[in-house]
Structure 1
Amino acid sequence: MVENYEAALGFIHGRTKFKKSDHLNRMKKFLALLGDPQDNVSAIHVAGTNGKGSTVAFTRDLLQSQGYTVGTFTSPFLVRFNERISVDGKAISDGDLIDLVNQVQPVVADLDAHYPEGGPTEFEIITAMMFLYFKNHVDVAVIEVGIGGLLDSTNVFTPAVSVITTVGFDHMKLLGNTLAEIASQKAGIIKPHVPVVVGKLPDEAMAVVNQTASAHQSPIYRLGKEIQAPIKSEAGWQEKFDFHFRDFNFKGLKISLLGDYQVDNASCALAAFLLYQQQHHQPVVAANVARSLDETVWAGRFEPLHKEPLIVIDGAHNEPAITELTRLLKQRFSDNEIFILFGVLADKQHDKMLSTLRTISNLHIILTTFKGPGTRQVTDPKALAAQYADDDRIEVIDNWQLAIGAVLQRMSAEDLFLITGSLYFISDVRAFFLEP
């Protein structure tokens, strides 16, 4: 029995992170011993290299706008662990978290003692707790895949709709070194006869997803084909677009998350929501759809923390995300001087990320470090800077708080200060600015 919040977190975080995969058999056994709660959760399942979090947020708000109580399962958390299991955007309470740990603990002990490969991992335990909680507390859940899809701990239920937002290079040690290999992992969430919504994928990845959907006789709806979302304007802190899908036509939809890729995420969310409503023979109120998309926010994704001077954080923690971020900066901030504070984990493609950022002309980059999660290493900023010794726009300030102070002294009111890289870094920076 755990008696307090610290002990509950200690139990969760004390578990091993990874174990040799046994094709989800351990996860299924774990859930069976808990009464298979996943079979009593109506849900939308979201996979993808990037865009999962924003897509989950848009989908949650769309469902909420129609009166549903909506659970979301996301990772990692930005401020507090409890955010990972949320209802209507509010994190699970400490008391409910303690109750869930006490529910799963005896089953974990049993598996530790008797299951051939040992008991469940940290993420398997959090996933099981989520299913247990959502079974009794929500009408519908939006469940984000942890890593990949095929062998992810969440991939143990039949969703109402599957969503694959993007496929790019990340977590290659686990998912494979080609886009086709990575796509086959993401496509692992496609279930027989369950519709799948797909964002803009490279041809190599799309071929795999098409093939998987066809093999499962799953209707597939692709952004740019069956789903059309032309962007109308890029003025002010918003994106504006039209949306056409099946019998639905929406004109002049607006979102407050910047970037063409956020229009893609919102469009995937809207298509998934419309499919869900049709399946459940529920009406769609156009005014609620428009309002909900306009009001969606997702912390840490090109999020302004201060207006004058403009200070923005963005958890662009891999190379595909940095590519999209760079495109956004060139589109919307070409007339501004841009100061970028960059800190990233060592297991990411940091050299490629930095070389992409360097294509922005009006740029000053400060490389820094931060405390990584657990035993994960952070990229050495001095070693990274040494690769670009001939670029005088790049400098190193090890202490990120001092780096923020240095940039604020140098920049003018018209400049942009962007702090980006690891989501763990962004979490620390957000707390630094927003906590009293």
Structure 2
Amino acid sequence: MVENYDEALSFIHGRTKFKKSEKSDHLNRMRKFMALLGDPQKDLSAIHVAGTNGKGSTVAYLRDLLMSQGYTVGTFTSPFLVRFNERISVDGKPISDDDLVDLVNRVQPVVVDLDAHYSEGGPTEFEIITAMMFLYFKTQVDVAVVEVGIGGLLDSTNVFTPAVSVITTIGFDHMKLLGNTLPEIAAQKAGIIKPNVPVVAGRLPDSAMQVMVQTAKTNHSQLYRLGHEATTTIKSEAGWQEKFDYHFKDNHFKGLKISMLGDYQVDNASCALTAFILYQEQTHQPINQSDIAQSLAKTVWAGRFETINQEPLIVIDGAHNEPAFQELTALLKQRFSQTEIYVLVGILADKQHDKMLATLRTVPNLHIILTTFQGPGTRAVTDPEKLAAQYQDDDRIEVIDNWQLAIGAISQRMSADDLFLITGSLYFISDVRAFFKAS
């Protein structure tokens, strides 16, 4: 038995991250684990969310939409920004330390049993967290919104049948695990599509969408695509918000507003709204336009173009792969073309840092400061000196190894009208966020 919160976290984090096994065995271990716990996932009403980017924001929009109708809503997300407990939350509030300890004590004997008797060995860290989530939500929530960890097909969360499946975006990330082409990556994400369960797909590249169409057809699942069955029209908007019209089936919304910036956030909100409407239809509940408008307008998701300081204006964004950098770059060009922009960038070594930086460099009014940070566990961080050496001809790029010193130095250089953006890794901005909260 674990006695306290620190021991509970040590037990969770002490597990292996991945196991080398035949792909077909991966979910067999998770299914065995769940069966020994009484299969709590089978009693859960839930929406399953996969995608390269946009999962967290989509989960947040869905959470607030469902809460606006009086549901108690569980959310399962990763990674956390400030504290581990955020990953398993109810109505936006992280699980308590005591409940976490209780859950670890419930799963630990089963883990010990599997360690001893299952041929593949016991569950991984993420499998344990996933199992704890299912156990907790079974008794605590009316509906859960479950975010996939990586991929979909072989992800530990993929052991239940949702009410609706959502696939937000498809792009290049985690290629070692998911494949090197968009159709290969799409096939992994499409693994969450279940027989006769409706699917919402965001704006996917054609080759990825073809995979969704085929997979949905094979599973007799109705597919609702953003830009086809569900449509949005973005209205130009000043200030810190986006405004758009939305149309799906008999639902017409004019002038919906969200407080998260970027066309991609309109897409995330629209995916969430489509999934919400489908969920309400299944449960024979009404669709209230004013509740929806109020809900979307107030949704926030920490670390997504989030303002953490007003004077000077400092924003953090968790963009950590090439597709996210493309979206971020488009937002900077669209909304901050008249602004001098300073960007502090720290990137994990296993990401496409060359492409990410190349994309960012297309913003003309930009100063890029490369830095380093303490990566999670044993994961290495890109060497900023080596990366900068590739761009010796670009005098907009410099290196300040210590990110705390970099924040101080950049803040001194800025004028009142400039923007200071900190990005490159969710783990990096988690450290930055904690630094600002403490100071």
The answer to whether structure 1 residue 16 and structure 2 residue 16 are counterparts is yes
Secondary structure at the residue paired with 1:149?
A: coil
Aligned twin of 1:112: 115
From 346, 352, 357, the counterpart of 1:349: 352
Matches within 5 A, 1:275-424: 275-424=278-427
Measured in 1, the distance between the counterparts of 2:437 and 2:298 equals: 20
Aligned twin of 1:184: 187
RMSD: 0.6
From 420, 433, 437, the counterpart of 1:434: 437
Q: CA deviation at 1:234?
A: 2.4
Q: CA deviation at 1:224?
A: 0.2
Aligned twin of 2:163: 160
Which amino acid letter does the alignment assign opposite residue 8 of structure 1? A
Measured in 2, the distance between the counterparts of 1:87 and 1:192 equals: 28
- Give % identity: 80
Measured in 2, the distance between the counterparts of 1:307 and 1:290 equals: 27
Aligned twin of 1:250: 253
- Please, which runs of 5 or more residues in structure 2 have no aligned partner? none
Q: Deviations over 1:342-391 (max 9, x none)?
A: 00100000010001000010010000000000000000000000000110
Q: Deviations over 1:171-196 (max 9, x none)?
A: 00000000000000000000000000
Aligned twin of 1:273: 276
Measured in 1, the distance between the counterparts of 2:123 and 2:143 equals: 26
Which amino acid letter does the alignment assign opposite residue 90 of structure 1? K
Matched residue pairs, number? 436
Moved over 4 A (4+): none
Secondary structure at the residue paired with 2:350?
A: coil
Q: Deviations over 1:236-264 (max 9, x none)?
A: 10000011000111110000000000000
Which amino acid letter does the alignment assign opposite residue 318 of structure 1? N
Secondary structure at the residue paired with 2:161?
A: coil
Aligned twin of 1:172: 175
Secondary structure at the residue paired with 1:154?
A: coil
Q: Deviations over 1:147-181 (max 9, x none)?
A: 00000000000000000000000000000000000
Measured in 2, the distance between the counterparts of 1:82 and 1:373 equals: 17
Secondary structure at the residue paired with 2:186?
A: helix
Aligned twin of 1:209: 212
Aligned twin of 2:41: 38
Q: CA deviation at 1:23?
A: 3.8
Q: CA deviation at 1:435?
A: 2.8
Measured in 2, the distance between the counterparts of 1:118 and 1:370 equals: 34
Q: CA deviation at 1:233?
A: 1.8
- TM-score calculated relative to the size of structure 2: 0.99
Q: CA deviation at 1:235?
A: 1.0
Which amino acid letter does the alignment assign opposite residue 17 of structure 2? K
Which amino acid letter does the alignment assign opposite residue 35 of structure 1? G
Which amino acid letter does the alignment assign opposite residue 234 of structure 2? I
Secondary structure at the residue paired with 1:78?
A: coil
Q: Deviations over 1:54-107 (max 9, x none)?
A: 000000000000000000000000000000000000000000000000000000
Secondary structure at the residue paired with 2:75?
A: strand
Measured in 1, the distance between the counterparts of 2:182 and 2:75 equals: 28
Measured in 2, the distance between the counterparts of 1:226 and 1:2 equals: 50
The answer to whether structure 1 residue 54 and structure 2 residue 46 are counterparts is no
The answer to whether structure 1 residue 227 and structure 2 residue 230 are counterparts is yes
Secondary structure at the residue paired with 1:230?
A: strand
Measured in 2, the distance between the counterparts of 1:124 and 1:278 equals: 32
Measured in 2, the distance between the counterparts of 1:402 and 1:157 equals: 47
Secondary structure at the residue paired with 1:341?
A: strand
Secondary structure at the residue paired with 1:366?
A: strand
- Please, which runs of 5 or more residues in structure 1 have no aligned partner? none
Measured in 2, the distance between the counterparts of 1:352 and 1:145 equals: 25
Q: CA deviation at 1:232?
A: 1.1
Aligned twin of 1:3: 3
Secondary structure at the residue paired with 2:110?
A: helix
Q: CA deviation at 1:285?
A: 1.4
From 75, 78, 81, the counterpart of 1:78: 81
Measured in 2, the distance between the counterparts of 1:241 and 1:431 equals: 33
Which amino acid letter does the alignment assign opposite residue 97 of structure 2? D
Measured in 2, the distance between the counterparts of 1:398 and 1:379 equals: 11
Q: Deviations over 1:397-420 (max 9, x none)?
A: 000000000000101000000000
- TM-score calculated relative to the size of structure 1: 0.99
Aligned twin of 1:125: 128
Measured in 1, the distance between the counterparts of 2:437 and 2:249 equals: 43
